[in-house]
Amino acid sequence: MYYDKGIDWYSNFFDTETNYKAYGELSHDYFLEAKTAMRIYDFNPNVKLIACLRNPADKIISNFNYAKRTYLSNEVDFQSFFQFHEKYKKNNSHNMNKETANYYENLYSFYELFPIENILVVFYDDLKSNPQKFIQSIYQFLDVDATFVPSKLNEMVNPNTASRSAFVAHFAYAVASIFRKLGLANFVGTVKRNNFFNSILYRNTKSVEKKILTQKEKEMVDAYYKSAYPKLEKLIEKAIPKAWND
């Protein structure tokens, strides 16, 4: 979205005056388009890349719930959302549909350009089961202090939420999208992190009904993703979690 603003604009987001051992950022969307891999390579061919992969079935359900909360009509069911992804994905740079968990296709362009030792693939399953081991693997990959333990390591920082008003939440999301296009992504991020603003739009609750796949939906999702698992394992040279094949 902001590539045309140039490298200097991008670099200004980093505090390069302080002597940090590593600088970085995160994005949910960088690996959705092959051209992004080339752009990153052109910027820094020696960069280290980290990809955290979630069980595709869980990820697409999460995407569906997020889309419902932010822009998708309540009339759209999961099967329609999954099958007609071009219609309901939002847009290419903020894609909420099934190709976001097409991990072999998503990562292939990066493995073509970058040496495998510069790419770390970790799994959300491991983050849930052993957060400290998960974060230490990232520290070791980055060659920074692996003994550091973040204060919020075992805290849930993004709890399950439900919108207080679907109309208001959808409107807020639309306004935020406009601000992002105007180059005000930092402002949007600041507002999103504001507790008061979030309390107006959403309510944190464990009682929010979560989407659970029916047997038919599970078969549909498995048919789409599972055939690529062997190729993915060969590409990343790592076995995927056993739970993905349940």
Which residues are CB-neighbours of 153 under 8 A, at least 6 positions away? Answer: 131, 132, 135
Who has greater pLDDT, 103 or 193? 103
Identify the weakest region by mean pLDDT among 152-156, 162-166, 198-202: 162-166
What are 11-56's pLDDT values in tens digits?
Answer: 888 887 888 888 899 888 888 889 999 999 999 999 999 999 999 9
Task: Dump pLDDT digits (tens) for 93-106.
Answer: 556 778 889 999 99
- How far, in Å, are 65, 75, 169, 227 from residue 198 at the CA level? 17, 25, 10, 40
Rounded distance between C-alpha atoms, residue 68 and residue 162, angstroms: 10
What's the pLDDT score for residue 21? Answer: 87
Q: Which of 215, 218, 216, 245 is nearest to 233 (CA)?
A: 245
How large is the average pLDDT for residues 195-203? 66
**Residue 202 backbone dihedrals phi, psi, to 5 degrees:** -130, 160
User: For residue 224, which of 49, 104, 48 has the smallest C-alpha distance?
Assistant: 104
Phi, psi of 115 (to 5 degrees): -65, 145
- Evaluate if residue 180 carries a pLDDT over 80: no
Measured CA to CA, the distance from residue 180 to residue 176 in angstroms comes to 6
What percent of the chain clears pLDDT 90, i.e. is strictly above it? 46
| Confidence tier at 65 by pLDDT (50, 70, 90) | confident
Supply the pLDDT for residue 35: 93
| Mean pLDDT of the 199-224 span | 76
Packing angle of the helix pair 56-70, 215-225 (nearest 10 deg) = 110
Distance CA 244, CA 221 (A): 11
Is residue 193 over pLDDT 80? no
- CA dihedral sign, ordered 144, 149, 154, 155: negative
Distance (Å, whole) CA 34 – CA 56? 20
Is the per-residue pLDDT at 165 higher than 80? Answer: no
What is the Cα–Cα distance from 177 to 173, expressed in whole angstroms?
A: 6
Token duo for residue 4 = 């045309």
- Count Cβ atoms below 10 Å from residue 169 Cβ, excluding itself: 20
User: Could you tell me if 179 and 187 are in contact, meaning their C-beta atoms sit under 8 angstroms apart?
Assistant: yes
Contacts 24+ apart (CB under 8 A), 171-175: 172/201, 173/70, 173/71, 174/71
Tokens describing residue 115: 């040496």
Residue range 68-83: mean pLDDT, rounded = 87
